[in-house]
Amino acid sequence: MRQRLAETQIFWREFRQTFTSTGAVLPSGTSLAKALARYVGQDHQQHAREASGPGIPSPASHSHRVDNRHTSPVEGVPATGSTAKAQPENGHSEQVLRILEVGPGTGPVTAQILRQMGPRDTLDLVELNERFVSVLQERLQREPQWQAHANRVKIHCLPIEELTTDQPFDIIISGLPLNNFSCAMVAAILDRLHQLAAAQAMLSFFEYVAIRKAKSLFCKLPQRQRLSGIEQILTRQFAAWEIDRECILANVPPAWVHHLRLPGKMDFQ
């Protein structure tokens, strides 16, 4: 409890000092973290196959869900991604998943990912704020749940735009405050995430409910145009790749979690 309070204080301080990149007053709550980590620990290939067929039962969550699942735009592309087969252990998926979390902050979503990760899965954390990176490093050394996976967790202190990899990721979870960025930056970041994704990779990210509408009410024309540009960029992404979204009311403030299945970058295949 004391730990959670300390992390909240750090987050609040960073919100005031680095408002644009931090983009939230509080770290994500447990329900939001769970929704973001939903695809970790599941049979990823199984999900990819099921996504093009009818009737996937929805996992229970404290959320209102809008299921826009449709036939994958990359139907016919084998759902291999970067994954390798391994023996199932502790009820986890048979696959070895490469997981990327962008903008982990003080780590509320990271904690959930680690809880659900398989014993061979790897996790790369990309965080540009070095004070958040220190918190993450400390948690990795101190908390048993984190220590259990420590040799498969890498922390990168850099902006996601600069991350390079020779192997694509199967699951990408982003906490980036896209609505604080310029349209060009949002487009560049989404492009980068597509480049880092394996075929059929899942991208899960959130935005606060009605945030663009609310901001638009109080800002000047250039800001309204920027927000409208972001809306257009995201709408195109959703139309092409979104398979599900859930509204997490049990968060301050409430948030939409978007789940997109990405085609992956052909360079990796």
Ligand X SMILES: C[S@@+](CC[C@H](N)C(=O)[O-])C[C@H]1O[C@@H](n2cnc3c(N)ncnc32)[C@H](O)[C@@H]1O
Please report, as ranges, the residues that interact with ligand X according to CB under 6 A: 21-24, 27-28, 102-105, 108-109, 126-129, 132, 159-160, 175-177
Minimal CA–CA distance to 102: which of 77, 74, 125? 125
> Facing residues of 148 across strands?
none
Q: Tell me the residue number closest to ligand X, measured at CB.
A: 103
- In terms of CB distance, is 41 or 159 closer to ligand X? 159
CB of 163 within 8 A of CB of 156? yes
Least gap, CB of 109 to ligand X (angstroms): 5
Q: How far apart are alpha carbons 47 and 57 in whole angstroms?
A: 11
Q: How many CB atoms lie within 10 A of CB 101?
A: 29
Query: Closer CB to ligand X, residue 129 or residue 200?
Result: 129
Backbone angles phi, psi at 33, to 5 degrees: -60, -40
User: Which residues, 6+ apart, have CB-to-CB distance to 45 below 8 Å?
Assistant: 79, 80, 81, 83, 95, 200
Cis geometry, peptide bond prior to residue 253 (ω within 30 degrees of 0): yes
Sign of CA dihedral 114, 116, 121, 126: negative
CB of 46 to ligand X, least distance (A): 27
First to last CA, the chain: 45
Min separation Cβ 52 and ligand X, Å: 30
Report in angstroms how near the CB of residue 126 gets to ligand X at its nearest.
Answer: 5
Q: Which is nearer to ligand X, 132 or 256 (CB)?
A: 132
Closest approach, Cβ 16 to ligand X, in A, equals: 13
79/102 with CB nearer ligand X:
102
Of 92 and 259, CB closest to ligand X: 259
Closest to 201 (Cα-Cα) out of 261, 131, 124, 128 = 261
Q: Nearest distance from residue 176's CB to ligand X, in Å?
A: 5
Q: Which is nearer to ligand X, 168 or 175 (CB)?
A: 175
